[in-house]
Amino acid sequence: MGTETFDLIILGSGSGNSLVTPYWDDRRVAIVDSGVFGGTCLNRGCIPTKMFAYPAALSAVPAEAARLGVDLGFGGADWPEIRDRIFSRIDAISAGGLHYRDVELEHTTVIPEEARFTGAHQLTTSGGRVLEAEEIVVAAGSRPVLPEVPGIHRPQVHTSDTIMRVPRLPEKLVVLGGGFIAAEFASIFSGLGSSVVQVNRSPKLLRHHDETISARFTELAARQWDLRTGWTLSRIEDGRGGWVSVHLDGPAGATQQIDADAVLIAHGRVPNTDRLDASAAGLDVQDDGRLSVDEYQRLLSGGQPVAGLWSLGDISSPHQLKHVANHDQRIVAHNLEHPDDLRANTLGPVPAAVFSRPQIAAAGLTEEQAAAEYGRDRISVKVQDYGDVAYGWAMEDTTGICKLIADRQTGQLLGAHLMGHEAPNLIQSLVQAMSFGVDAHSMARGQYWIHPALSEVVENALLGLDVPDSGWL
């Protein structure tokens, strides 16, 4: 079998798939991916999880309505109907994308195999095909982390890759982890009717978020499902009736056992760099496993960019977020097509959301980070309750908050952290202000805010900051 030569090789069919623009119509392109076409977000990540999160959130409506004098009921969830509705749509999109790239486009070839570097511009697939190209983009993503404990590969043990396709709603689910994946799935399955036990080693959930958000969410999670902190997984054994026994180690030598019919391992994700043999191409790899790139998304070797080698998404970004991967892709696409006019990846603060109950959104620095970077005396912090604005009164909201951090000297927003109803939507105006340098007072007074919309919680938080008056009345 001879060497196959392409103009562009893309490792990964997620955001990397969008690199195939009309610019490449008269060139040969290969997309190499051994997984399901479309990548993690479409098939196993953000899209299906949110399609589960929304119906799960509806299960909380009866309790909210009861506080307002409205009698609603929750009769249960039809798991197969929900699951099949979601994946019948997603699987069709994935299949359609594969057919379009591999069959309809004459210049594009999809190779459903793993590939590793065997030279700076050469790849060898698991099937023995040798591929070469002047331009190679590594967009191979990440995968769930599995702890090395006995019983981890039992069929009842799942990751985010598999838990959404289980044949029936688990009667009892153990969720191991305290990050956003664990929070979302605990919310989903408890909302749909499973008995959920969440186990976390550290005392607080979402520990990478602002301390106020982390502490409040941990408290609210414990009200909604069985939360056990300070425990670590030691092993998983067979139990009765097809269930498993989850064994945990705690403080001072304490142990406990939880019997469940399903287990979700949500210990984060790791870049797929270790599957690429990056050393064969001389590529720099960071301590956390990410490929090193420069500001133009070029891969590095010995700290210097390698001509024709690029990367995007989870495998090289510290932000495992689809919107970040998509922006990386736009940068790489431009730079591939305009080598004499390279654009740097300089976008502003990265926002992120957790579609849990309640929802959470964040952008910029936490209070702790801002104090460390600017000094405690230079920052102003305001925590505004949802319940202090008119729409919050209408909702009888007692838990939602908007927390803002700003520079006292300039009025520039440094961080925004929301928890509550529609937090991922409410934060967008704050992301816009941080990205375009609009100071807090100008944002609050330089435009109308609809009364009595929930967005007034953002307005009031801005006005509560101790920052310079910009001159707006």
Catalytic residues: 451
Contact between 141 and 273 under an 8 Å Cβ cutoff? The reply is no
